[in-house]
Amino acid sequence: MELSNDAVLKIEQTLSIPRLSKYENFYKDKGEPYEKSDVLILYERNLLISNKFFYLLNYFEVILRNAVVQAIEISFRCNETNSWHENEAFIRSLSRRGRHSPKSMFDSAKEKFPDSPSKMIPELKFVFWQKMLMANYEERIWQGCFSSVFPNATVENRQIFYDWTDQLRELRNRIAHHEPIIFNRNLENDLEVLMRFVYCRCTDTHNLIEPFSLELKSNLSY
């Protein structure tokens, strides 16, 4: 769709010049001639790629949450009468350090859904689940159950999974805040990390979303 100069200027004002300037700087840094319409095309392409990634990141976040819950249940011997969200040993293990400590996030979610661990899970922030992969939970949670939670991992290395999660959290946050991702990240590596995480957890789930990931990969080169 071809746009007139007047239309391009109005769109630029509608979306905000500071936001689009990040995309315009991409062309300026390359030192190549460009039109204002090229900036809008780049902006639109970023939106499309971001939406496709967010689809896969939704899978990733659900898989991460459930993996951590399974690890907690195994390590703290939870059962139907001793749910993970009421297990005193697990609750005592939660760090209280920092403004957004795991304990404060847990307490907030439990206060909202005291009788529903299934509702607590999505209520807990992404960073809570990431923090459960930190080094101070190596012995408390992961030692002895890692291979059960990630049966297809070739190496039992909690730190790798923490690093992967941190990388994908950064990507998720950039997308959520409508920031550019197509010219300032290694998106192929982001996609590879996401799919490797899913594969380590469940090959069937990996196979389910692999066609979509391959389609996304084919659209990443620019």
Tell me the pLDDT tens digit for each residue of 84-111. 999 999 999 999 988 789 999 999 999 9
Provide mean pLDDT across the span 43-66.
Answer: 97
Q: How far is CA 92 from CA 35, 76, 100, in A?
A: 59, 11, 16
Q: Give me the phi and psi of 36, to 5 degrees please.
A: -60, -35
- pLDDT at residue 204 in the model: 99
Provide mean pLDDT across the span 12-26.
Answer: 79
- Secondary structure tally for the chain: helices H, strands E: 11, 0
Whether residue 54 has pLDDT greater than 90:
yes
Which amino acid does the sequence have at 24? Answer: E
Categorize the per-residue pLDDT at 150 as very low, low, confident or very high, splitting at 50, 70 and 90: very high
Crossing angle for the helix pair 187-201 and 158-176, to the nearest 10 degrees: 130
Whether residue 1 has pLDDT greater than 60:
no
Per DSSP, which regions of 87-202 are E strands?
A: none
Q: Give me the phi and psi of 30, to 5 degrees please.
A: -75, -20
Please give the model's pTM, rounded to 2 decimal places: 0.91
Categorize the per-residue pLDDT at 135 as very low, low, confident or very high, splitting at 50, 70 and 90: very high
The ranges assigned to domains in the chain are 50-221
Place of tokens 């159950």: 145
DSSP code, position 82: B
Contact (Cβ atoms closer than 8 angstroms) between residue 105 and residue 128: yes
Q: Which of 7-11, 64-68, 166-170, 182-186 has the lowest mean pLDDT?
A: 7-11
As to burial, measured by CB atoms within 10 angstroms (0-12 exposed, 13-18 middle, 19+ buried), residue 17 is exposed
Q: Locate all alpha helices (DSSP H) within the chain, ordered by sequence.
A: 5-15, 17-30, 36-75, 88-93, 102-112, 117-123, 126-131, 146-149, 158-176, 187-201, 203-218
Whether residue 222 has pLDDT greater than 80:
no
